[in-house]
Chains A and B, each alone.
Chain A
Amino acid sequence: VAVRPVLRYPNRALKEVCRALADGEEPGDAAADLLDTMSAHPGCVGLAAPQIGAMVRIVAVDVSEHPKAESSNGRLVLVNPVVVREDGADVAREGCLSIPHLTANVRRATTIEVEAQGTRFRSSGFEARCVLHEIDHLDGLLFLDRVDSLSTDVFRRKNYR
C-alpha cells in the first residue's frame, strides 16, 4: 500500500492542467496510490491524481458507502475522463481534502455521461457531483472557482472527517 500525502492549496500542483495518458500508457502507481490514499481518509469519496502530486488525468471515485448516494457505479478509477453530456443543475455542499478547512455550495449538473479509457457510463446525483468535482481537479479547478457567493455559500469547518 502506498498512501501518499494529500496536497493542500496553495500547492501549485492543484492549479495546473494535468496531461492525458497516451494510448496504451500504463497509469503506473498513480491509480493504485489514489485508491490507497482515498481509503486512508474515512469519508473520502473521491480523489484526483494531482491531489497526490501525480500530474496525469486519473480520478478515483467511490460513493457506494456514502449515505447521500442514491445510486452508484461502485469503485471507479477513470483514466482520461471526459464529460460528454451534462443535464440538470443543483446546488449542494462540497468539501475537499485539499482545502480542508472550508466547505461550499456549488452548482453542478445532476446527470452526466462520462467517457474514460475503456468505459462509458451514466451517473447521477451525489456520484455525478463527485465525478465532476474530481475531473475539475485535472484542469486545476477547485470548488472555490465555482462558488457563486462568498457571503452565503462558503463555510468554515472545524474538522475534515
Chain B
Amino acid sequence: MLARVRHLAVSAIGRDRPGIVAEISGVLLRHEANLEDSQMTILRGHFAMMLVLAAPDDVDREALAADLDTAATALELEALALRDLGDPSASGPEPSHMVTVYGVDHPGIVHAAATALAERSVDITDLNTRLLEDDDGDPLYVLMMEVALPPGLTPDELEQELGGVGRAEGVEVTLRELEQDAL
C-alpha cells in the first residue's frame, strides 16, 4: 500500500554559492521528503529555487521548517519559505504559444506586453528576459514568454493585440505555436 503523502512547496533566494542545493536537499532527505518538481537558476549571481516536494503524511512539519531555517541561515540565504501546496495535481494551464518580443532597450516593454496579455486573460506560464549589450550599438532587449490562451481567444486575435504593443513600443513581436513534436 502506498503511504499517504502531503505536498509542500519550498522557495528560497540568496547570493549564489556552492552547496545550496546539497544542503537543502539533505534536509529534505532526512525528513523523507521526496523532491518532485523543481526549478532553480542564477541571475547575475543571485540564486533562486522553487521546489515541490512530497513528504510523508505524518512528517514533522515544524521540525522540517526549523531544519530548513537552520540551513538557510548557514547558507546566508535572504529568504526561505515553506508552504503547504493546496492541490498538487493542479498543474496550471498548458502553454500553447510562445511570444517573442525584442527591440532597443527602454523602460516599459515587459509591462506593455504583460498588460496586453492580462487584458485578454492570457496566462504567462514561463518568462525570461535578457539585456544584451552591444559594444558599439544600442542594447538589445529580448523577452520570451510561454503563454496559455483562454477559451475563446484565437491566436489571430492575440497576434493583433500584440501587434499594437509592438507598434506602440517600437519593438518586434512574434507569436508562434509551441512545437509539439511527438518523437
- List chain A positions with a Cβ less than 8 A from chain B: 8-10, 15, 99-102, 107, 142, 144-145, 147-151, 154, 156
Mostly, the B contact residues are strand
Task: Give residues of chain B (28-83) contacting chain A, Cβ–Cβ below 8 Å.
Answer: 41
A17 to chain B, nearest CB (A): 13
The 18 sampled A-B contact pairs (Cβ below 8 Å) are A8-B137, A9-B140, A10-B103, A10-B138, A15-B172, A101-B132, A101-B137, A102-B132, A107-B179, A145-B172, A145-B174, A148-B179, A150-B129, A150-B143, A151-B41, A151-B128, A154-B130, A154-B142
Query: How far apart sit A74 and B115, CA to CA, in the bound complex (Å)?
Result: 49
Which chain A residues border B132 with CB–CB below 8 Å? 101-102, 154, 156
Query: How far apart sit A101 and B102, CA to CA, in the bound complex (Å)?
Result: 14
- The number of inter-chain residue pairs (CB within 8 angstroms) is 43
A6 to chain B, nearest CB (A): 12
Which chain B residues border A149 with CB–CB below 8 Å? 128, 144
- List chain B positions with a Cβ less than 8 A from chain A: 41, 98, 100, 102-104, 128-130, 132-135, 137-138, 140, 142-144, 172, 174, 179
Cβ-defined contact, A150 with B179, below 8 A: no
- Asked whether A150 and B144 contact (CB < 8 A) given A15-B172, A144-B102, A145-B174, the answer is yes
- Interface centre among A150, A154, A156, by most chain B C-beta atoms within 10 angstroms, is A150
Cβ-defined contact, B135 with A101, below 8 A: yes
Cβ-defined contact, B142 with A144, below 8 A: yes
Cβ-defined contact, B140 with A148, below 8 A: no
- Asked whether A144 and B100 contact (CB < 8 A) given A15-B172, A102-B132, A150-B130, the answer is yes
- Given A145-B174, A149-B128, output 16 extra A-B contacts at Cβ < 8 Å: A9-B140, A10-B103, A10-B104, A15-B172, A101-B132, A101-B134, A101-B135, A107-B179, A142-B172, A145-B172, A147-B144, A149-B144, A151-B41, A151-B128, A154-B142, A156-B132
Cβ-defined contact, A147 with B100, below 8 A: yes
Cβ-defined contact, A150 with B142, below 8 A: yes
Which chain B residues border A147 with CB–CB below 8 Å? 100, 144
Which chain A residues border B102 with CB–CB below 8 Å? 144
Which chain A residues border B137 with CB–CB below 8 Å? 8, 101
Query: How far apart sit A100 and B137, CA to CA, in the bound complex (Å)?
Result: 10
Which 7 A-B pairs give the minimum distances between C-beta atoms?
Answer: A150-B144, A150-B128, A101-B134, A145-B174, A151-B128, A10-B104, A144-B102
- Asked whether A145 and B100 contact (CB < 8 A) given A15-B172, A156-B132, the answer is yes
Query: How far apart sit A107 and B144, CA to CA, in the bound complex (Å)?
Result: 16
CB closest residue in chain B, given A101: B134
